[in-house]
């Protein structure tokens, strides 16, 4: 009949996450670990879908998520891997520790793709992303692509295991309200 009958029990929040929601999610995961996301969302008392919780955690709240500018080396690696695998963002992300598929995808669409478009007039003169990327290092050409790449600097290995949750050195986009450090410190104080 009318789905509004049970609309009360399935009240689901959408849109941007609040700091309070972030704290609840962090707290819950720290104390109980990740699990089945749907039940996690319910148990934590979040009016979010499991999917939304998972995304928020993976892309934003995890302590090892690295935010801030993509380095030149990372950009080169992204271009190299994209030329090899195409839009397999999660696969590409696995080779960039601390970066998420969403971040890489956004970066590609907003920065690299733009530059490629701008360069298109010159593209006829043998310009391709792959060629641009293949500057001074090579990746082992295992077909599955899981093989290690050898960038000029050894940045593929995660430099530090994020004892400091985030590098906020170029804190362009995360300084308006609260920082992840704020969240995490709050979380530790609050963890029951």
Partner DNA sequence: AACCATTGCAACCGCAACATC
Partner DNA sequence: AGATGTTGCGGTTGCAATGGT
Applying CB under 7 A, the residues found at the interface with DNA are 13-17, 35-39, 48, 50-52, 54-56, 59-60, 67, 87-91, 101-103, 105-107, 109-111, 114, 172-174, 176
- Nearest CB to DNA, comparing residues 52 and 139: 52
- Nearest CB to DNA, comparing residues 119 and 137: 119
3-class SS of residue 139 = strand
Give least dist CB 125 to DNA, A.
Answer: 23
- Nearest CB to DNA, comparing residues 15 and 126: 15
CA dihedral 142, 143, 145, 147 (to 10 degrees): -20
Give least dist CB 145 to DNA, A.
Answer: 12
Give least dist CB 33 to DNA, A.
Answer: 12
What are the backbone dihedrals phi and psi of residue 139, each rounded to the nearest 5 degrees, phi first?
-105, 145
Burial class (CB in 10 A: 0-12, 13-18, 19+), 5: exposed
């Amino acid at each position: 009949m009318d789905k509004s009958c049970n609309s009360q029990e399935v009240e689901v929040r959408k849109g941007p996450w609040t700091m309070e929601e972030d704290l609840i999610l962090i707290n819950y995961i720290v104390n109980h670990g990740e699990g089945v996301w749907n039940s996690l969302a319910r148990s934590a008392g979040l009016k979010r879908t499991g999917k939304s919780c998972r995304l928020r955690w993976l892309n934003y709240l995890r302590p090892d998520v690295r935010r801030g500018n993509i380095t030149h080396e990372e950009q080169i690696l992204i271009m190299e891997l994209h030329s090899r695998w195409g839009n397999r963002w999660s696969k590409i992300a696995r080779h960039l520790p601390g970066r998420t598929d969403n971040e890489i995808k956004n970066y590609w669409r907003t920065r690299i793709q733009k530059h490629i478009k701008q360069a298109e007039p010159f593209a006829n003169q043998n310009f391709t992303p792959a060629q641009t990327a293949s500057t001074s290092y090579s990746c082992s050409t295992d077909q599955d692509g899981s093989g290690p790449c050898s960038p000029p600097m050894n940045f593929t290995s995660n430099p530090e295991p994020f004892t400091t949750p985030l590098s906020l050195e170029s804190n362009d986009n995360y300084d308006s309200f609260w920082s992840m450090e704020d969240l995490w410190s709050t979380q530790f104080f609050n963890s029951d």
